[in-house]
Amino acid sequence: GFYRAGVIEMRPRKIAAHYLRTWFFIDVAIVLADWLLLLMQSGVADMIGVVRIMKTVRMSRVVRLVRLFRILKLPTRLEDIMSSLQSESLSTAVHIASCLVLIFVVNHFIACGWYSISNLSDREHRWVNALYIEG
């Protein structure tokens, strides 16, 4: 569903029409870019032209970045949900859950950073390899 004038729209036909007007073409561009990457890896790239495909791959990265901008709408939607809640205890529970999600996301990025630092070090004496040996 999606929100229209503060009301969630759940009719499939309206949802499909909204999707076709908003995110459909971006999703198609992303899928086409993925198919082009598969073609490049399969060896067909030599026939098509590597330069053209590389330009398309770069453009697909930009399209994926644009898709991530959906996340910027999340605080506004969360605020709308919070204002529509009638129960104080439910509102508190949603606030606690959102704080926990934020903590998980921050911890994920910290762990990714440490893993990247690990990949920069000596490949034989890494903590990741030590876990594989012990496990």
Residue 49 — pLDDT band, cuts 50, 70, 90?
A: low
Please write the tens of the pLDDT for every residue from 89-119.
Answer: 887 888 898 889 889 989 998 998 888 877 7
Q: Which two tokens stand for residue 68?
A: 């991530």
Q: How far apart are CA 94 and CA 100, in angstroms?
A: 10
Q: Where are the beta strands (DSSP E) in 1-135?
A: 2-4, 7-9
Q: What is the pLDDT of residues 12-31, one digit of tens each?
A: 898 899 888 888 888 888 77
Rounded to two decimals, what is the model's pTM?
Answer: 0.40
Helix (H, G, I), strand (E, B) or coil at 74: helix
Listed residue (108, 114, 109, 110) closest to 131, CA to CA: 114
- Which residue carries 């898709």 as its tokens? 67
